Amino acid sequence: MTNRIAFQGEPGAYSHEACRKARPDLKPLPCRTFEDAIEAVQSGEAEMAMLPVENSTYGRVADIHRLLPESGLRIVDEAFVRVHISLMALPGVEIEQIEKVRAHLVLLPQAEDFLKRYGIRGEASADSAGAAAEIAAAADRTTGVLASDLAAEINGLHILARHIEDHAHNTTRFLLMSRQSDTSRRGKDGMMTTFVFQVRNIPAALYKAMGGFATNGVNMTKLESYMVDGSFTATQFYADIEGHPDDPNVKLAMDELNYFTTNVEILGVYPAAIERF
């Protein structure tokens, strides 16, 4: 087993930052796509994958809920990273020289107030960390980048302003995926269980399936639906609950869920991160 952790993006991406925070003992392995990061773990090239699943400002990360069940991997941990945005440029450049900034499309609106204040226009880039590398290579002194401090460190850029995001709460939740799960662990702040399921084609099936969690006092922190194979009738649900499948109340709730569903697949049982409380 290799001592690498795969992530999607360029060195300095927020996923890279999450890897350094959660698994500093593992060597980060940048990958072009989420599928590539998953494949790195499946093939044994990496021990784990760090995948973003949701953001407190923009919601669910596209395609992740579809990829997780198909991957064959299991969730072994979760990590939360505050998305701090910094403005960076080549060394020696002053903020008054910056005419435009490049960043991932979702970052630009998060620093809108700051950019307006300085009269800087935004330009969308496929990847903020990648944009940092491009600016460093091109020696462009009129263009800045919005990215993480780590991206500036890696690419030798100078940080002109830190934490320029408009909202202080912006946080991304990541899941750490591995080939094998370990359900024997117990986290000091509790446990989380993530699973997907499809309900039977009977009236009020979802309502009845969820009833077991309410009556047994199991807190469901997330429930989302998404289409399966492009069908308007086949709906799969993704859920997070507090607790471990071996807990008596969770076991009763899952037994009731099984009665009203066609299939249930547990994607992971893992310690709850302190940041969620």
Catalytic residue, candidates 34, 114, 174, 195: 174
> CA 82, CA 149: separation in Å to the nearest integer?
12
The 8 Å CB, 24+ separation contacts for 53-59 are 53/173, 53/174, 53/175, 54/172, 54/173, 55/83, 55/106, 55/170, 55/171, 55/172, 55/173, 56/169, 56/170, 56/171, 56/172, 57/110, 57/167, 57/169, 57/170, 58/106
Is 174 an annotated catalytic residue? yes
Catalytic residue, candidates 172, 193, 194, 261: 172
Give Cα 20 distance to the centre of its chain.
14
Which residues are the active-site residues? 172, 174
